[in-house]
Chain A
Amino acid sequence: MGLPGKNKGAVLSKIATNNQHGENSEYFDGWKAYDKDPFHLSRNPHGIIQMGLAENQLCLDLIKDWVKENPEASICTLEGIHQFSDIANFQDYHGLKKFRQAIAHFMGKARGGRVTFDPERVVMSGGATGANETIMFCLADPGDVFLIPSPYYAAFDRDLRWRTGVEIIPVPCSSSDNFKLTVDAAEWAYKKAQESNKKVKGLILTNPSNPLGTMLDKDTLTNLVRFVTRKNIHLVVDEIYAATVFAGGDFVSVAEVVNDVDISEVNVDLIHIVYSLSKDMGLPGFRVGIVYSFNDSVVSCARKMSSFGLVSSQTQLMLASMLSDDQFVDNFLMESSRRLGIRHKVFTTGIKKADIACLTSNAGLFAWMDLRHLLRDRNSFESEIELWHIIIDRVKLNVSPGSSFRCTEPGWFRICFANMDDDTLHVALGRIQDFVSKNKNKIVEKASENDQVIQNKSAKKLKWTQTNLRLSFRRLYEDGLSSPGIMSPHSPLLRA
């Protein structure tokens, strides 16, 4: 390609040549393994089962049924084709009015109808990926910092940072209190950032959480809103799992808190929501991302930026019709919650038989699995990676190690359960149970090595420190970051 010996790097931009896209990470090993040997019930029953992708395929049948019954919602049917020209030419960055209204309406329903969203504040983006980048461009300059509770969604390292120049500083959360985010922890991280002369522009978090699958309670959210108002920094809440709650009471949106908190305690110009239909409805391919801000200037700026990632008008129209159908939406939300609840229970009950526990959760498309007792060394991330490779190569499951989410404690793994059918899930559970039972002996052997462990304690501690330090500079990525060839349209994983 081109003249021999030419230095391509010198010709391209720094963004094009740095590695902040994140795909050189070792955390792609699971994806690569899956891609080479994808499981299929009949064609490849010993292949790797994809449990590293947070996709919701449990209710696509409800959507298909609706689509069949409502052909006029598409501009490519006989019933809907009269709208073709209008829609095909529509490129206003406000989006179809009907679409914005439907999104606002759906967002309200996904939050139990306890809060109302203004369609005029709904801004489109290219998926939550585009929405998160857009909100960073609007709120922060290159070099500014956003605080983010860890563990967090790995793609944030790319989406929030790559083209924006924004930095991320983790707010560590600990398993000792179930990884709960506290204002004290946020305060601590804020001070640490200030001591390093960093300008903190905001706090971004995911609620319900990825990878924890837990929700913040109203008190905590209220305290966070007060915290950011005191500091005069932004609060961005990624609520893309809002409608995946299957247990434990209602999801509380930050929008509810804004409504309920005393007006003097909240500056609404600091509050923003990121949303998407990728998870709640299982439509990631449609690229529907939403920025919803209580700040008029942000709405205006984000809208102009949406020109770079507008939702296809064809898709806008279809979804506007579907999400305006209250009967469909009510049934969908209820059924989705029910099916997720069943799936979660089947999964957690299944691994309990293998003496594996998960963080208690009530939302999301995954479980936060505790495998600390299976580590060779409980204090070592190297042990976590070692176990992870065993899970990929021998158990043949692609799961995500906690360190890829910048979890500060080794031994936790995110495992997804909503992107497959029941039969596949049972195969996966069978493999896990087989693996654990076969390795029970090794756990016993481990006990007899306690003396050696004690002797090496000091060395291990040093090793952990080095590993942890090195890890904090590593960039970690997974779902939403498709590597080449992954999830091709012919993947046997997908139901056709």
Chain B
Amino acid sequence: MSQGACENQLLSKLALSDKHGEASPYFHGWKAYDNNPFHPTHNPQGVIQMGLAENQLCSDLIKEWIKENPQASICTAEGIDSFSDIAVFQDYHGLKQFRQAIATFMERARGGRVRFEAERVVMSGGATGANETIMFCLADPGDAFLVPTPYYAAFDRDLRWRTGVRIIPVECSSSNNFQITKQALESAYLKAQETGIKIKGLIISNPLGTSLDRETLESLVSFINDKQIHLVCDEIYAATVFAEPGFISVAEIIQEMYYVNRDLIHIVYSLSKDMGLPGFRVGVVYSYNDVVVSCARRMSSFGLVSSQTQSFLAAMLSDQSFVDNFLVEVSKRVAKRHHMFTEGLEEMGISCLRSNAGLFVLMDLRHMLKDQTFDSEMALWRVIINKVKINVSPGSSFHCSEPGWFRVCFANMDEDTLQIALERIKDFVVGDRANKNKNCNCICNNKRENKKRKSFQKNLKLSLSSMRYEEHVRSPKLMSPHSPLLRA
């Protein structure tokens, strides 16, 4: 290896920067899991992975379909005749039947209330590639995007690392269930303008497990239309909605708002969550802007979906009765799992933000903090990882503006494992309650006031920080193919 000074000359600034995010303290949970992964028989005392938003609840339905449809694969005796055509296919439009199948699936995942044109479907290397691509298309280095907090931690890398784009957080508060308000948007927008930062758009994602209601979406669309900036809606959890209100796509909203400039509207989608196929790397950019469609398509050359995978999915997603049944069933199973988990938590006095979608809940542990500071949040988090032995994600890793919230995933494991996790949490909570009674006399007024000031300073610093990361940002060896977590 070269000397340090030489190293700086040798590689690019991108290679030397830490915007890939893996130097973050938030990887502590992943490392703990990786060093000691739970397995019901091989390692029953190991760390349970609840920091990964994966959907493993319906892979059995897909396997059943595969068994009944051998011709869908180019690697079966029934499908081998297509092998040559598919193996050499590298057109960046993607297989026509694949684009059509994706468009149809997107429609059905939105209850058939909206139409999608296959010609606007552009492939990417997962939602990761899709998000980066849309940034390259819409913004220049130095430009910024507004992102409501808390937000998906990998955005800090995906949207920023190679594009040079900046993120301006729009703070949302638990007092109104983290809803995005026009006031907060205007405030963030004006502040950015005063600093001379060019805002190119607003990106909406849903790390809360809630779907946006119609009024909120309409106000967001009005906001960006007034400012003539872009709206990028990350709808990768569209089909994981399991309760009211149902999922409303921005595509639905703009159908009714005839005056909106559609050139400003773009959707990012993926099959990683709704179908539980992250390894297939199917990301989609869907834009109402013809120039963006064209540009994104050319950029997709850097992250095309394997034609083998395109061919298989085109066949499966074209099966209307399979898709309809799948969507109903995934919603049902996520609901059941969500209910099981939240009920379990409530029994021990832990509440969660009310949610109706996603593969996780936002758990409220504010009452378990020593004081309302992010330091206390981190301290509690380390206890949860090291002693309770559960890898969850602290709210600060999502740029949550209030300490005490934790995202907990529940769809990447079997029911037995979830029960074990609940028992561990219960043991911890009961133990914590006992400790709290013992120590209550030590709290004094002076200490409380100092902590409060510290909290404010911490909060201010955090809102300017942008170094938060988690899933999809893998540290070495995580989720190896032999992880006992995965069902084989």
CB distance from B262 to the nearest CB of A (A): 6
A479-496 CB contacts (< 8 Å) to partner B: 480-482, 484-489, 494-496
CB distance from A228 to the nearest CB of B (A): 11
**Quick one: CB contact mask for B52-96 with A, threshold 8 Å, 1 for yes?**
001010010011001100101111110011111111111111011
CB distance from A86 to the nearest CB of B (A): 5
CB distance from B384 to the nearest CB of A (A): 24
Tell whether B51 is near chain A: CB-to-CB under 8 Å. Answer: no
CB distance A282 to B87 under 8 Å? yes
CB distance B96 to A89 under 8 Å? no
Q: Choose among B73, B262, B279 the residue that contacts A87 (Cβ–Cβ < 8 A).
A: B279
Closest A residue to B272 by beta carbon equals: A91
Tell whether B290 is near chain A: CB-to-CB under 8 Å. Answer: yes
**One of B4-12, B103-111, B396-404 contacting the partner:** B4-12
Q: Please give, as numbers and ranges, the residues of chain A lying within 8 Å of B312 by CB-CB distance.
A: 76, 314
CB distance A94 to B476 under 8 Å? yes
Q: Please give, as numbers and ranges, the residues of chain B lying within 8 Å of A127 by CB-CB distance.
A: 90, 301, 304
A62-90 CB contacts (< 8 Å) to partner B: 63-64, 67-68, 71, 73-78, 81-90
Tell whether B285 is near chain A: CB-to-CB under 8 Å. Answer: no
What's the tally of chain A residues with a CB closer than 8 Å to chain B?
101
CB distance A84 to B302 under 8 Å? no
Q: Choose among B139, B290, B486 the residue that contacts A89 (Cβ–Cβ < 8 A).
A: B486
Cα A267 to Cα B139 with chains together (Å): 38
CB distance B140 to A313 under 8 Å? no
**Quick one: CB contact mask for B265-301 with A, threshold 8 Å, 1 for yes?**
0000000100011111100000011111001001101
B112-135 CB contacts (< 8 Å) to partner A: 125-126, 128-129, 132
Cα A63 to Cα B83 with chains together (Å): 9
CB distance B87 to A60 under 8 Å? yes
Q: Please give, as numbers and ranges, the residues of chain A lying within 8 Å of B85 by CB-CB distance.
A: 489, 494-496
**One of A38-46, A107-115, A175-183, A300-308 contacting the partner:** A300-308
Closest B residue to A296 by beta carbon equals: B1
Tell whether A198 is near chain B: CB-to-CB under 8 Å. Answer: no
A289-321 CB contacts (< 8 Å) to partner B: 295-298, 301, 304-305, 307-315, 318
CB distance from B474 to the nearest CB of A (A): 5
Q: Please give, as numbers and ranges, the residues of chain A lying within 8 Å of B318 by CB-CB distance.
A: none
Cα A3 to Cα B96 with chains together (Å): 30
CB distance B280 to A313 under 8 Å? yes
**One of A14-22, A207-215, A338-346, A459-467 contacting the partner:** A14-22
Q: Please give, as numbers and ranges, the residues of chain A lying within 8 Å of B261 by CB-CB distance.
A: 2-3, 6
Q: Please give, as numbers and ranges, the residues of chain A lying within 8 Å of B63 by CB-CB distance.
A: 81, 84-85
Q: Choose among A13, A68, A159 the residue that contacts B138 (Cβ–Cβ < 8 A).
A: A13
CB distance from B101 to the nearest CB of A (A): 13
Q: Choose among B10, B13, B77, B139 the residue that contacts A232 (Cβ–Cβ < 8 A).
A: B10
Cα A245 to Cα B17 with chains together (Å): 40
Given contacts A67-B75, A314-B306, contact A60 B84 (CB under 8 A): yes
Q: Choose among B70, B281, B476 the residue that contacts A312 (Cβ–Cβ < 8 A).
A: B281
Q: Choose among A13, A75, A301 the residue that contacts B11 (Cβ–Cβ < 8 A).
A: A301
Q: Please give, as numbers and ranges, the residues of chain A lying within 8 Å of B303 by CB-CB distance.
A: 126, 130, 308-309
CB distance A484 to B308 under 8 Å? no
A and B contact pairs by CB, cutoff 8 A, 10 listed: A2-B263, A12-B295, A15-B136, A17-B291, A60-B84, A88-B276, A91-B126, A139-B12, A308-B128, A496-B85
Other A-B pairs, 18, CB within 8 Å; known A301-B15, A485-B91: A57-B84, A67-B83, A77-B70, A78-B67, A88-B277, A89-B486, A91-B126, A92-B477, A129-B301, A278-B90, A283-B87, A284-B90, A285-B87, A297-B7, A304-B22, A309-B302, A313-B280, A496-B85
Question: Taking beta carbons and an 8 Å cutoff, which residues of A are in contact with B?
Answer: 1-3, 6, 8, 11-17, 21, 23, 55, 57, 60, 63-64, 67-68, 71, 73-78, 81-94, 96-98, 126-127, 129-130, 133, 137-141, 144, 159, 163, 201, 232, 234, 267, 269-270, 278, 282-287, 295-298, 301, 304-305, 307-315, 318, 419, 480-482, 484-489, 494-496
